Structure 1
Amino acid sequence: MIKACVFDAYGTLFDVGAAARIAAGEPGAEGWAGKWPQIAADWRRKQLEYTWLRAVAGAHADFWRVTQDGLDWALENAGLSDTGLRSRLLQLYWDLAAFPEVPAMLVALAAQGQRLAILSNGSPGMLDGAVRSAGLGGVFEGLFSVESVGVFKPDRRVYELVGAGLKLAPQEVLFVSSNGWDACAGAAYGFATVWVNRDGAPRDRLFGSPQHVLSDLAALPGLVESL
């Protein structure tokens, strides 16, 4: 029986493409605005790659450092060196909006009696900021950060934070992530898992496989009710 729904944060609840998209629509952005999709995609890709590489190398740094490093790579790859733009994009990353369906989805899950939490690579400060800026303060019972164990996903010690924090067995948790590799790792750990495949990507060939796939989070309450 599922007793808690635990969400990845960035890309699952919070729209990580919003920072570049919003900045591209602001005055003075005309010279680079057409590059925003490339910048957003490169930023996210390098951010994730750096978490994996740091985890393998045992060279941990918090997610804010990795986020800045990923942006610096993305801007250089786009031929941009504007420090003002860099500062603006980083500022916007602290104010990411939730995807449109998220607030109603969380209300519906809470009405079903589900406990709600986040399990994220994000540092505690980043998660607090994201939850507040999205208007989701007071919704989550726990905001579990990898900083508690000093290594990024998909290290098993990260997924263990959920059971330690909520006092639940893995099979009592539905883990929800938009990252295919994260959903695979959560499934291998023992969670019931949902992959939110917003981009229609192929399933990752890894050491676990998510039991459920959704195109967004709107249908999640119905799925949970059926389990």
Structure 2
Amino acid sequence: MPPNAAIFDAYGTLLDVHAAVGRHAARLGDRAQPVSALWRAKQIEWSWILSATGSYEPFWTLTGRALDHALAVHGIAEPGLRDALLEAYRALDAYPEAAAMLAALRARGIPTAILSNGSPEMLASAVAAGGLAPLLDAVISVHPLRCFKPDARIYALATERFACQPHQIAFVSSNPWDAYGARRFGFRVFWVNRGGAPAEYWLDETAEILPDLASLPDRLA
């Protein structure tokens, strides 16, 4: 039976988080990949630490501070580069198959939504830049709750928005920790494992694993 809604993580699932550095790779040279990886790692790590300690800062603030850390670690202080990278992050590329996949789901009568750690303003900018805004029924941010995934209260925002039970939601994420949190909440979970990484958090037993987003509409038919 099709789900009541298909809910997507944004950053890393629909949107390529490494696209910002990719646009400025020539300025970073051989430090581009490690800067991008550390930027992402600290962005996520700090969201966990804040949630675990009952603290909160908007995800956009964490994104800027994580970038500052990554640039400092790699000794990069080129004028204007920080601002250029953050501007690029506001307009990340969507993965090539994302728009067609969302359109196919909606053509089959399945509502689509984002559930993201992102701040409302950064999400609005990103989905517009990626051409995804017309293909989404809702963009749900954690910001009103002032905590981050994988807190169970975040996943409850989706069931509240679509007035359904957890098992009636299909949740899609490329982040293993997010997929695990969603499965613990009771969603049917699809883990998008683009890099073919070994499964974490028992996802090989509890989630359906996809190499990308293209086959999702058929899996939900």
TM-score by length of 1: 0.93
Within 5 Å, give how 1:184-199 maps onto structure 2.
184-199=180-195
> Partner amino acid for 1:201?
A
Deviation string 1:17-44 (CA, Å, 9 cap, x unpaired) is 000011124xxx2xx3221111110100
> What is the percentage of aligned positions where both structures have the same residue?
43
**How far, CA to CA, are the matches of 1:186 and 1:19 in structure 2?**
27
**3-state secondary structure, aligned to 2:51:** helix
Q: 2:102 aligns with which of 91, 106, 121?
A: 106
Letter of the structure 1 residue corresponding to residue 104 of structure 2: A
State the 4+ residue runs in structure 1 displaced beyond 2 angstroms.
205-211
Provide Cα deviations, 1:91-125, integer angstroms capped at 9, x if missing partner: 10001010001111111111111000000000111
Query: Could you tell me which amino acid in structure 2 is paired with residue 12 of structure 1?
Result: T
Unaligned runs of 5+ in 1: none
1:91 aligns with 2:91: no
1:10 — aligned with what? 11
- Tell me, in whole angstroms, the C-alpha distance in 2 between the residues paired with 1:196 and 1:95: 21
User: Does 1:40 pair with 2:41?
Assistant: no
TM-score (norm 2): 0.96
Secondary structure at 1:96's aligned position in 2?
coil
Distance 1:209 1:86, change over 3 A: farther
Cα RMSD for the two superposed structures: 1.5
3-state SS in 2 of match to 1:194: strand
Tell me, yes or no, if structure 1 residue 78 matches structure 2 residue 78. Answer: no
Q: 1:207 to 1:219 in 2, by over 3 A?
A: closer
CA contact 1:188–1:209 (8 Å) conserved in 2: no
Q: Secondary structure at the match of 2:140?
A: strand
Matched residue pairs, number?
220
* 2:123 maps to 1:127: yes
Instruction: Confirm or deny that 1:23 pairs with 2:20.
Output: no
Q: Which structure 2 segments of 5+ residues have no match?
A: none
Deviation at 1:166, TM superposition (A): 1.3
Say which SS state the counterpart of residue 202 (structure 1) adopts. coil
